[in-house]
Amino acid sequence: MIRNLPALPLALATLLTLALPLPAQAQSRGDAPPTELAQTNPREAGSSAHFRVIERFPGSDSLPPQIPSIAPTSPFAPIIEDVERNNWASAHRDLQNPELRPLLNDDASLRFLAATVAMEAGHPDQTRAILNELDPARDLPVLADYASLLKARAALATEDAHTATLAAAAIAPESLLYPDALILLAEALQKAGQPEDRQRAIEVLDLFLNAYPRHAQAAAAREQLATLLEATHPGRAAELYLNIRQQRPLSQAATRATRQLRTLDAHLTDAQRRLLDDTTPERALTLARARFDLHQSEHVISQLNTALERWPEDAPQRCEALYLIGRSHTKLRQHSAGTPVYNRILEHCADTEWELRALYLGGRGRWNAGDRRGALTLFERIWQTYADHSYADDAMYFAARILRSEDRPDEARDRLTAQLQRYPEGDMAKDAHWLLLREYFDRDDFQAVIDHVDNLDKTGEDDLYTKGRLHYFRARALLQAGRNDEAAQAFIKVTRDHPMSYYALLSFNQLARLQGSTEGLDICATVGPACEELLPANLQAAPVELPDELERDAGFQKASRLLTLGLTSLARRELTALRTRHANTPSTLWALASLLDAAHAYPISHDLARRHIHGWMDAYPTQTTRRHWSIAYPTPFKDTLTRYAEQRGLSPAIIYAIMREESGFNPRIESWANARGLLQLIEPTARRIAQRDGLEDFSFDLLFDPTLNIRLGSAYMRELASQTSAHPALIIAGYNGGFGNVSTWLKDFGNEDLDLFVENIPYGQTRDYTKRVLMSFWIYSYLYGDARVPTLSFTLPPP
């Protein structure tokens, strides 16, 4: 038992901790703190201190509010850069420099940084020595809770349960670190070893699990609590172990839980023993669901096919198992292999939720496998049997596309007309309208295009990929009908109604074509007043003001200090909570985003603008909003990116546009398909490009290095450019869909103009990606490049 506590007995300290009210988020939601904003260190994307500004008007933007930062000339600058990259050993080595001692002694924040580095580098004794000379409440009040938690961790690592308990108990429930403190407190009490301490540890863990049942450490807490309860309450311990097996079936914790459950066999009920049986359908499905979520598709197929052979024919889990097998084949694009699986669902699972899913996915699978008639049959069953389901209008639209591909235009038109009559507000209505227009274009019936759009009360175009589409093609129909003046006015209307959109970009280029010239990088000079009014040159940005509300927020003060020290992984939780607290105040969110942008926390700052502040893209950039656009479309890694852009003969705008889409400027990100880094390169492509670019000793892990990733990603773009006459749309489509597909599409319908070619791309993901990234390419060109509106050739190169 821990003894001789100064002033406050342990029992009282622990009970006071237990009696403290739950933090607000736990009281209201019974859940963990908000989801993290980014997957890795947010400042990594801006850690270089040697950027070369590539903005068109350098120095014209007013300086935004700043989060304090260490000067590049400071001896701590390289240490903080190491901290940002989690290079703890290097940072710790540099901190041993005797010349830094006076600076550390004079700055409590730097001492806290040194203590954190020592802990992460595996030197908890040094962490304790540093923190023993620091009074957090007096010397570092902003980060007092972080210092206390660090002290508890270090004490626990050096077997000092007494100090660990006191430090963990000092953290208030209002702190975002409170859940972590409870876990450490329970562990420290358990290590104390006396019965009364173990009982208090149980109480602490109960408090934690009641308040934070879905916290990231909940499984560890359950395991710890179950271990403590085995001797006195084996039934409850078994329930906790079974919960771990259910919630984290593929984890090491589940393996340990299984082992402990077998030692508790005498205390298990029959129902619990059944849950422990790995051969049951219930357990097989639990494992399969977990593997499916982790994209272990081959394993799901193998595991469940084997399991199905053992299950009784009437097992209620059979339909879901078949569905997971079918979906796994679909994920792997094994459409022919998936067809018999979906057929089995349709045969054995009629009148269940699985039937509808099998009709939908089976229809799409047959379509992808080339069985159009089979797909039509399944789609028809959807709108006839499940007429009120959201899949019904999808099925009618898909059927129309198939009929159109089979050169059955009259039947396709009838199907689309029926779809719009039955589901005028459906989410596929906008696509049905477009497909009707597409047929009119095929017949050169331009008046039908104009009449169709003019007769619509609303288009239903409500997303990034369709806003302005119908009115753009109405303008195009006027142009092809020889009504040039009307077409020009119609294109101008699209540019005004849909600022900085894909269809506005096309419209500006069409206006330039009407003037008879698209020469040069910037077509604004050709378009004239319509462009000059909406996209003024030399646009300066007004600074984003820092509201008093944000500046006074304790979480903001904590996050600012942590960012200054390079401890972005710690700052992330505070930043997430800030975003949640101020979600309904755009001005405060903009101030936060601006500060994060100034601190080079680009994955977080641009994501705030991109996903959590709404409506700002409904107008062109102005002096008031120009800063908003630069936050949402930042330019990290300027030195490296501009150097390789120049070497490759590429516009920096296209590299930035693809980077924003691929990684959100997070250099450490990895996709489920194992694409890595800023430009999301997969290993085969990266190795091939590395060899061609003369890079020796390439390894896959190097793709997390920003410089190397930009080098290889830009080389791949240069390869695509050489294959596509450097057409931006084709480079973008090739980056997502592969040049082999682009080459096929050029052969199949490359005689079409650019706008129709993009609409014809058969892969929805690549079609939308091309529109989205072309829009970003325009925005980057306007904000930082030489072209307020970049030129797009409507005539595509030969395959």
Domain 10-42+72-276 has CATH 3.10.20.600: no
Q: What is the pLDDT of residue 81?
A: 87
Q: What is the pLDDT of residue 642?
A: 96
Q: What is the pLDDT of residue 523?
A: 79
Identical fold at 10-42+72-276 and 278-390?
A: yes
Q: What is the pLDDT of residue 24?
A: 40
Q: Note the Cα 544 to chain centre separation in Å.
A: 26
In the chain, how many H helices and how many E strands?
45, 0
Q: Distance between CA atoms of 504 and 531, rounded to whole angstroms?
A: 11
Q: Distance between CA atoms of 579 and 173, rounded to whole angstroms?
A: 20
Consecutive 10-residue runs of the chain (799 residues): their mean pLDDT? 34 34 38 35 39 33 59 87 89 94 90 97 97 91 96 96 95 95 95 90 96 93 95 94 94 94 92 88 94 94 95 92 96 94 95 95 95 97 95 96 94 96 94 95 95 94 94 98 95 95 96 77 76 85 86 90 90 89 91 86 92 93 94 95 96 97 93 90 94 90 94 97 96 96 95 96 94 97 90 93
Dihedral sign (CA 543, 549, 552, 556)? negative
pTM: 0.83
Report residue 724 as tokens.
Answer: 């596509």
Q: Distance between CA atoms of 754 and 776, rounded to whole angstroms?
A: 17
- The angle formed by the CA atoms of residues 31, 34 and 37, to the nearest 5 degrees, is 155
Report residue 500 as tokens.
Answer: 């900085």
CATH fold group of domain 278-390: 1.25.40
Domain assignments of the chain as residue spans, ordered by start? 10-42+72-276, 49-65+541-616, 278-390, 638-784
- Percent of the residues in the chain that have a pLDDT greater than 90, as a whole number: 73
Q: What is the number of other CB atoms lying within 10 angstroms of the CB of residue 510?
A: 25
Q: Distance between CA atoms of 64 and 543, rounded to whole angstroms?
A: 5
User: 539, 471, 537: which is closest to 510 by C-alpha?
Assistant: 471
Rg (CA), the chain: 30
Residue with the two structure tokens 């107008």:
619
Q: What is the pLDDT of residue 59?
A: 39
Kindly report, residue by residue over 47-100, the tens digit of the pLDDT.
333 222 233 333 344 454 566 677 778 899 899 989 988 899 999 999 999 999
Q: What CATH number was assigned to the domain covering residues 638-784?
A: 1.10.530.10
Strand, coil or helix: what is 681?
strand
Kindly report, residue by residue over 368-395, the tens digit of the pLDDT.
999 999 999 999 999 999 999 999 999 9
